[in-house]
Chains A and B, each alone.
Chain A
Amino acid sequence: MSTIIAETALRELVNTWMGQGKHVAGPTEVRDDVVLYQWLSRAEDLRIGGSPRPRNSIKEFVFPRHEKLYGYKLEGRKIELVETPLPETEQIVIAARPCDAAALPILDQVMNWDYRDVFYNRRRNLTTVVTLACQDHDAHCFCTAVGSGPDDERGSDAMLFNLGDGTYEVRCLTDKGKALFAGALQPSERVGEVGPGPEIRLDLDSIREFLNNEFQSPQWAAMTMRCIGCGACAYECPTCHCFDIADEKVGNTGARVRNWDTCQFAIFTAHASGHNPRSVQSQRQRQRIYHKFEVYPAKFGETLCTGCGNCSRVCPMGLGVLPVLVAMQGVEQVEPSEYV
């Protein structure tokens, strides 16, 4: 016994949610080959057919790229702080990839282990995540190699399975998910399926061993020479979560803001003295791999990577996490038949 919904009804439901004042985000086609998760203004813009593979991740909806923490006013020698009200609008992310949603419980740990980040937690609580089980993968996907998979339920409140005839099976996984679809689903005998996912396998233990033993290895430079030092990989990564704090002032008023930041930028570790402990790009690439496959696992017991492949898809020079890991392990990235 399962529950299903027709795509037309699903789109109507999206319009209903928006009519209730909720914000809804999902994959949209910006142009020919650019699909991004964006806020929707109408349900027609939602791209759900096939397995949309947006270039960005859904972290933006709980951890915006730019966020005002509080404001301030200067009057002579007096400073008045102005609190930023916490968000109050419920939001729904629909047709998210399971590898995107799986990153949310990972981010939850970081945002709560020493300091409870009020902005993050508020947005997270206001968010319901509806994923679309993945029936397709490309040469950059490696979810199954890092403990995830095409129907990974972590972080999902409900999961859709494309039944192929304009109908979706809906599995409500949490109370939030049940509430969202209450009264909108039809009972059915049909059950959605996913394939086994990417075939590539990585030995995470041996990767950790390499990381622990080979910090100074000349291989780092060889493996990452083509990195040009942009932040595309980190910013489109569902799990990368570094930020910078800046003050933005206009006249006598200003705001303290939080902006995404990344270890791939040279300025990330620049000291006020002028010294930079990570003086070349390969050290910054090494840092990113270390954080994902050694530092985070040592602290929280899981990998800071869901194998979504966004980093490789957006890297202007065809790098990303997977090519580094395969170079480290000396295994082949892809068999021709695997490439979609």
Chain B
Amino acid sequence: MIQRLQKTCRELLETGKVDVVIGYGQKHPELPPYPVFVTAPDEVGQLVWNAQCVMNLTTYLTRKEVKALGRPAIIVKGCDAKALIVLEKESQIDRSQIVVIGVACQGVIGGHPVDGQDPRAATAAKCKVCDVHMPPGVDITLGETDSGPVTAAWRYSDLDAFMDQTPEERMAFWQEEFERCIKCYACRQVCPLCYCEQCVVDKNRPTRVSTSASLKGNYAWHITRAFHLAGRCIGCDECTRACPAGIDLRLLNLSLARAAEENFGYRAGYDPQAEAVIGAFSEQDKESFIG
């Protein structure tokens, strides 16, 4: 699989179809992989693919310095591929100028396996409810894997468990979570769909959202972030993975995803033709939740 991946990328670079391959490199199996930007055919040897390749590389497609490298090929898992669909829908990428290499994925490692623990126990939460093991809408597919679709009930099981608590308990939970936020904005920076050139929290003439990492300022940030991702978040969970404070942003994202699915029959990143839930108006739209 890795050999095929490297061969494919070598051909793309040699034939000039792409200028750069955005993929994963790894120094040693015991060290996590990291993003690499391969521009020369002779350097494809550093490309790897394995269950540790948890990063969603599509976040690089909208970045100035990466764009300056030229026409890209990018390696994506099924969850990452969903970001491409939203980015294209929002006119952030020209899909015809990108070669997308999809890799069959049976799940990636979500945390650090504890000594002696079955590595699968550390499978990322998103993978346990994944229904895109084969990445959709890609140009080249590598590998094969079978996987049945996941029922909606299972998809939101973590959220259901959370929602079983009383509103007071949930509020106490979020208070504790948000108190740890240091406003490093790793959640924003890692997100492929947080591509604004100027984030609303960086607007300082005048300041719109408190820049303080106080409880109030942290609530303001996280609620702003969640709302801006409503109906757009593809559930790659990169924000949750990136958070150094271990804030469970996944629960917020799941809540918004379910709202979009249940109220509008929309799931972000699945159907390139579907009108974006936030960007479209239909007379059938529910209004019961307004005022």
Contacts and interface: CB of A to CB of B under 8 A. Distances in A.
B182 A65 contact: yes
Interface string A310-324: 000010111100010
A267 B190 contact: no
A62 interface: no
A86 B36 CA distance: 48
A151 to B, nearest CB: 25
Contact of B186 (A139, A230, A339): A230
Given A235-B182, A267-B202, A259 B28 contact: no
B213 A259 contact: yes
B185 A231 contact: yes
A6 B212 CA distance: 41
A232 interface: yes
Given A230-B184, A316-B242, A221 B212 contact: no
B213 A333 contact: no
Interface in A222-241: 222, 225-226, 228-232, 234-236
Nearest to A282: B65
A66 interface: yes
B192 to A, nearest CB: 10
B98 interface: no
Given A225-B37, A280-B64, A316-B190, A66 B214 contact: yes
Nearest to A318: B34
Given A33-B111, A230-B188, A316-B190, A260 B213 contact: yes
Q: How large is the interface on B (under 10, 10 to 19, 20 to 34, 35 or more residues)?
A: 35 or more
Interface string A249-266: 000000001011010011
Contacts of B111: 32-33
B35 interface: yes
A226 B34 contact: yes
B17 interface: no
- Of the listed residues B111, B114, B204, B245, the one surrounded by the most CB atoms of chain A closer than 10 A to its CB is B245
B208 interface: no
A334 B27 CA distance: 8
A236 B212 contact: no
Nearest to A236: B244
Contacts of A38: 180
B65 A221 contact: yes
B211 A244 contact: yes
Interface string B28-39: 101111111100
Given A66-B214, A232-B184, A316-B242, A339 B28 contact: yes
Nearest to B35: A226
18 contacts: A30-B245, A56-B182, A221-B65, A230-B190, A232-B244, A236-B184, A246-B210, A260-B182, A260-B183, A280-B64, A282-B65, A314-B244, A316-B186, A316-B190, A316-B241, A318-B35, A332-B27, A339-B28
Interface of B: 27-28, 30-37, 55, 59-60, 63-66, 111-112, 114, 180, 182-186, 188-190, 202, 204-205, 207, 210-214, 217, 238, 241-242, 244-246
